[in-house]
Amino acid sequence: MEALQAFFAQYGALLAQGTWDTIVMTFVSTVFAYVIGIPLGVLVVVTAPDGLKPHRAFNRVLGWIVNIGRSIPFIILLVALIPFTRFVVGTSLGVPGAIVPLVVSASPFVARMVEQSLREVDGDLIEAAQSFGASTWQIVYKVYLPEALPSLIRGAAITFITIFGYSAMAGTVGGGGLGDIAIRYGYQRYQNNVMIATIVILVVLVQLIQTAGDVSARKLDKRNR
């Protein structure tokens, strides 16, 4: 017990700050990734051959761009984007320096998650909206997105957890957060207790996020009412 108290006295503030930095960079990155990813996912669905506004060439180019973004490993993208990150936020270190590559890496992933969620919407609802004369925008805003909301919520939880994992990788290049603490203290200084503490915190946060996503999705799912 005394050893535990001594550990928290020495590293408690550091771990608290690292946890807060990780949550901030993950939350902000997730928000911006969805700001970019939702329109991309909607465009992929709408311009598909069976979509509301089929456009084969545009759909293929867009799908190709999204697939390229998803195929680049995050650690490589993180290093490759350092000049761009410095241009956008003025630094490639700390929380601001990690957010830019996190957003760029997560946006294509979000686009595919959104696409999958929208494709789960019952086609009969889309046809009914079209028969009432609804425009493409009205169908997207009033049918696609509301009907796909439970799936979108589950996808958001998965995305948040994925970015959460990426944020730990950002610590390898001074991205801040728990990943940075695990590298600097747990790995470079051979302090296994710090490494274990960061792992425990990460596991707990992931479980909380996944549980919150599942509960929210069940409450919004019309089939459970």
Q: State the pLDDT at residue 224.
A: 57
- Which two three-digit tokens encode residue 143? 């049918």
- Sign of dihedral through CA atoms 181, 185, 187, 191? negative
Separation in Å, CA 204 to CA 4, 106, 189, 211: 18, 22, 24, 11
Domain of 121 in residue numbering reads as 2-224
Q: State the pLDDT at residue 32.
A: 94
Query: How sure is the predictor about 29, in pLDDT bands with cuts at 50, 70 and 90?
Result: very high
The helix/strand/coil state of 13 is helix
Backbone dihedral angles phi then psi of residue 198, each to the nearest 5 degrees:
-65, -40
Q: State the pLDDT at residue 97.
A: 84
Q: State the pLDDT at residue 60.
A: 92
Largest CA distance in the chain: 71
With a cut of 70, say whether residue 223 has pLDDT above it.
no
Q: Nearest to residue 74, comparing CAs of 163, 186, 202, 161?
A: 163
pLDDT more than 90, % of the chain: 20
What average pLDDT does the segment 121-140 reach?
Answer: 85
Q: State the pLDDT at residue 130.
A: 83
User: Count of CB atoms within 10 A of residue 136's CB?
Assistant: 15
Separation between Cα atoms, residue 131 and residue 153, nearest integer Å:
29
Q: State the pLDDT at residue 8.
A: 76
pLDDT more than 70, % of the chain: 96
Q: Which residue has the higher pLDDT, 217 or 225?
A: 217
CATH number for the domain spanning 81: value is: 1.10.3720.10
What average pLDDT does the segment 94-122 reach?
Answer: 89
**Contact at 8 Å (CB) between 29 and 40?**
no
The domain total for the chain is 1
